[in-house]
Amino acid sequence: MTSYIVIIDDETITLKQLRRILEKEGYQVAAFSNPQRALKHIEASSCHLVISDVRMPTMDGLDLMTRVKARFPTTEVILITGYASIDGAVEATREGAYYYLEKPFTPDQVRDLVKQALILRHTREAANGNSASGNSASGNSVSGDSVFGERDSQTPVIIGESSKIREVVSIIRQIAPTDCNVMITGDSGSGKELVASAIHAASKRANGPFMAFNCGALNETLIDNELFGHEKGAFTGAETRSTGLLEAAAGGTLFLDEIGEMPNSMQVKLLRVLQERELIRVGGSRPIPIDVRIVSATAVDVKAAVNGGAFRKDLYFRINVVNIKLPGLSERKKDIPLLAYHILSRLKRRGGKNISAVSQKAISLLINYAFPGNVRELENILERAVAVCSADVIRVCDLPPDLIEFELQAYKPPDEQFMTLAELEQDYISHLLKITGGVRNKTADILGIDRASLWRKMKKYKLG
């Protein structure tokens, strides 16, 4: 099947470049420099994928995307963003775009992204029971905004442009449609449950239930009851029959959180269920078939527990068919601004104050912070910031005091008894360049000078 791709950019050079890359891959391509005309064409013929520039003189790429998505919910959209156009990218995630192509791009990046987008589209179609056949995508014109809106609110969005998060998203796309069990490892607050629900949403089981269970929260008897259910009269107080989660998640996904905490006896029981694909309720004798995918999560090193004998090796192999390791937030600092804006827009939607921006200084403070509590900690910091904020932008003074102190402490002048003002200036500028990742705008902002002055100083001190 040839996929049909519409590309839109007001720069003819980008159009030509994209067309060349895509046609080489065997895709059918229509290129437009005028978004209005492109939209008309899409309405008339529909297509599988739209690649559009965000900034065009006559129509905003986001606007175009919203219109395409409203009419053709399964058509994927890739937005081309200029470097550092964070605002646009954030706006885009809010509207449901999944992909960004950052200018300048390489042919490999285009090929990879297009492939991913088309696979996801195909998976969604399959999950919705539509056949993705033929060259035209007109069969997908499930009408109306409600379909888009509904799906958008349910689809978990994993925000991030760092290579580590892109890798995670790409693994999810690859393995979600298969039925294999997945174990997610990552520190507290790093997004394990979000990833689990994203796997579910992109799987063939997306229309089935997603059920979560925390293995660390209950004792053995209660876990037994929750997971396996019981027959009427199984124990004192069991007045009715109860279905366990393994059974209730039929056709869907069971998310076992803190799997490393599961007591040994339950490990044995779970293993048997997974091997035999059936279970017997507590107090029962009849085997009941189960149809569930297990996605588990852990913040502790289960492999070490296996080596130490605390976790069963056979169960570990069965549930750890694919392992997804989530990086801590400090390993993907590039994502912090994007996440911050995403969280703000979520808070706003939940009826909070109308605050949709974070000052540059506050952002660079967040970027430098170590985030032991990962994305959840960033959420908490921003929720608090919104609550105390009296302006329409979050500023440094709205961030928790210990974070501000952390930042101030981060700069320590060299251990010399006396420094000239120039030496101190040189040292401080080089410190800031380091923590801003060499971004001059940000550095100049923190210093309270303009870019040109910073540039002169950098030249004087031979920095950068």
Ligand X SMILES: Nc1ncnc2c1ncn2[C@@H]1O[C@H](COP(=O)(O)OP(=O)(O)OP(=O)(O)O)[C@@H](O)[C@H]1O
Using CB under 5 A as the criterion, which residues of the chain lie in contact with Mg ion when the complex forms? 193
Q: Find the helix or strand (DSSP H, E) in which 255 lies.
A: strand 252-257
Which of 361, 376, 431, 440 lies at the binding interface for ligand X (CB under 6 A)?
376
Which of 77, 110, 158, 454 lies at the binding interface for ligand X (CB under 6 A)?
158
The minimum distance between CB 190 and ligand X, in angstroms, equals 5
Query: 283 or 400, CB closer to ligand X?
Result: 400
Q: How many angstroms separate the CA atoms of 425 and 430, rounded?
A: 8
Q: Which of residues 179-238 bind ligand X (CB under 6 A)?
A: 186, 188-194
The minimum distance between CB 134 and Mg ion, in angstroms, equals 42
Q: How many angstroms separate the CA atoms of 372 and 297, rounded?
A: 18
The minimum distance between CB 254 and Mg ion, in angstroms, equals 14
Query: 63 or 193, CB closer to Mg ion?
Result: 193
Decide if residue 96 touches ligand X (CB under 6 A).
Answer: no
C-alpha neighbours within 13 Å on the C-beta side of residue 217: 7
Contacts of 36 by beta carbon, 8 Å cutoff, 6+ apart: 58, 59
Binding mask 18-57 for ligand X (x = CB under 6 A): ----------------------------------------
Query: 214 or 430, CB closer to ligand X?
Result: 214
CB 175 within 8 A of CB 279: no
Query: 59 or 215, CB closer to ligand X?
Result: 215
Handedness of CA 129, 130, 131, 132 (dihedral sign): negative
In sequence order, the β-bridge partners of residue 102 are 81
What is the total count of residues that contact ligand X (CB under 6 A)? Answer: 17
Say if residue 58 is exposed, middle or buried (CB neighbours under 10 Å; 0-12, 13-18, 19+): exposed
**Tokens coding 240:** 């009715």
In sequence order, the β-bridge partners of residue 282 are 230
Could you give the 3-state DSSP secondary structure of residue 180? coil
Stretch that binds ligand X, among 46-54, 155-163, 311-319, 362-370 (CB under 6 A): 155-163
171 touches, from Mg ion, ligand X, none (C-beta below 5 to 8 Å by class): none
**Tokens coding 449:** 């000078």
Q: What DSSP string runs through 100-130?
A: EEESS--HHHHHHHHHHHHHHHHHHHHHHT-
Binding mask 325-344 for ligand X (x = CB under 6 A): --------------x--x--
Query: 5 or 201, CB closer to ligand X?
Result: 201
Residues that bind ligand X (CB under 6 A): 158-160, 186, 188-194, 299, 339, 342, 375-376, 379
